[in-house]
Structures are given as C-alpha cells and as structure tokens.
Amino acid sequence: AQTVTQSQPEMSVQEAETVTLSCTYDTSESDYYLFWYKQPPSRQMILVIRQEAYKQQNATENRFSVNFQKAAKSFSLKISDSQLGDAAMYFCAILNPQGAQKLVFGQGTRLTINP
Amino acid sequence: ETGVTQSPTHLIKTRGQQVTLRCSSQSGHNTVSWYQQALGQGPQFIFQYYREEENGRGNFPPRFSGLQFPNYSSELNVNALELDDSALYLCASSLLGGGRNTDTQYFGPGTRLTVL
C-alpha cells in the first residue's frame, strides 16, 4: 500500500517571500509518479507540478519547484515570490503507473498568503 | 481544448435515495477516475474506468457503481445514500496507453453532495 503524509496542516507566508511545503511518502514500488495539486476555495483540483521517480532532476514550473529526495522518500514543494493567488489547500499525491492508476493523496496543507 | 466538466454542481438528497453524478472527460482522454473528498480531507479513490471497463476500485461498497460511455464520459451512481456519503465528488480524466507524461489526471470542478 502507498501512503502520503503532509505534516503541516497550515502554513503562512508573506507576499513575495518563499515557502516550502513538506511531504513524505511510502511505497514498495520502484516506478511511481509524485504530484502536487492545488485546491483553491473554488474546489477545483489544479495540477501544480509532477515528478517521475526515475528522474533525478528536480521538476520546476515557473515559481514552483520540488526537492525530491528518493532515498528519504521526501517530496517538498517550494513556492518562490509568493502571490495572493497562491492561497489554497495543497495536496501531495503519489501514483503507481502499473495496474489501477489511482492517486493516493495526503491530508493537505492550507497555505495562507499575508499581504 | 475542453477541460473536465461535472454536473450537477450541488445536490441535496435524503438518506436512502439514489444519486447519479456525471463527468465529461477532457478532449483526447480515454480514462476517468472518481474520488470522494470529505470535508477537511484529501480525496479518496473510488474507481477508475478505462475504455468503458472498470480498471481498479478503492475501498468503497458495491452501492457505489459507475459507467463509462463510448465518448469516454462517465457516471457515478450511489444507491441507498447514507449521511456519511456527504462529500465533494471529483472526477479526473487522463490518457492511458499514450506513453509517459500522458497519464496525469486532470480534475473537474466537483459535485457537492449533501445527504440529509
């Protein structure tokens, strides 16, 4: 079974500063994908970033980057130059591409941006 | 490119009733996954449909059932509703079999179901 743990229920950051959200996971699979999704108050789950386990290079998408530590089973999300629109629930998730391709989510971290 | 859509947006039912939720997949996608998200929790996988066949199921009772149609849209049916079924129901579409980087799941806006 795969599990995802987000140990920070809430985080806050000043606008324009940098914040890091933590995520650890457990899996017995060698091939898997990791994701960060953002869920604003509108409820729609929006993909932020994706990382494939076989890739050593950390994924980046504009102001969003990850620190993927495979041996430690850690997958943190760094948001640079935080903007008011970044305020949302952030969910870390893992997917095994073999068999039933289900996403297993963590409990989420609520990010508040202070102006 | 059309995104994932879901209907209805909100729904109120009473205990024991049946409900059908609908999802239209993103253009070019062949797979729909359904998730239940209770208040304050992360989404939980219900099941997935690939080319009209169930491709995996989470830990949900048989009263949760689904369908996928030839155009890859999908329905989630819940019979004998219970109070604990109150949640946000999310569907996500993806493209399986298209190689790496095609199987990312993209979500619809969700249906909020309230069971009284």
Residues of B in contact with A107 (CB under 8 A): 41-42
Question: What is the model's pLDDT at position B1?
Answer: 56
CB contact under 8 A, A44 and B33: no
Neighbours of A113 (CB within 10 A): 20
Vertex B44 angle, CA A2 and B8, to 5° = 155
Q: Is the pLDDT of residue B34 over 70?
A: yes
Mean pLDDT of A62-67: 97
Strands A10-14 and A109-114: parallel
Residues of A in contact with B45 (CB under 8 A): 100, 102-104
Mean pLDDT of A90-115: 92
User: For A3-46, what is each residue's pLDDT tens digit?
Assistant: 999 999 999 999 999 999 999 999 998 889 999 999 998 889 99
Of B31, B42, B100, Cβ closest to residue A106: B42
User: For B47-88, what is each residue's pLDDT tens digit?
Assistant: 999 989 998 999 999 999 999 999 999 999 999 999 999 999
Question: What is the model's pLDDT at position A96?
Answer: 85
Vertex B71 angle, CA B69 and B74, to 5° = 45
d(CA B33, CA B38): 17
DSSP B62-99: TTEEEEE-TTS-EEEEE-S--GGG-EEEEEEEE-TTS-
Residue A16 CB-density burial (10 A; 0-12 exposed, 13-18 middle, 19+ buried): exposed
Q: Is the pLDDT of residue A99 over 90?
A: no
Min Cα distance A85 → chain B (Å) is 18
Which of A6, A20, A25 lies closest to A63, judged by CA?
Answer: A20
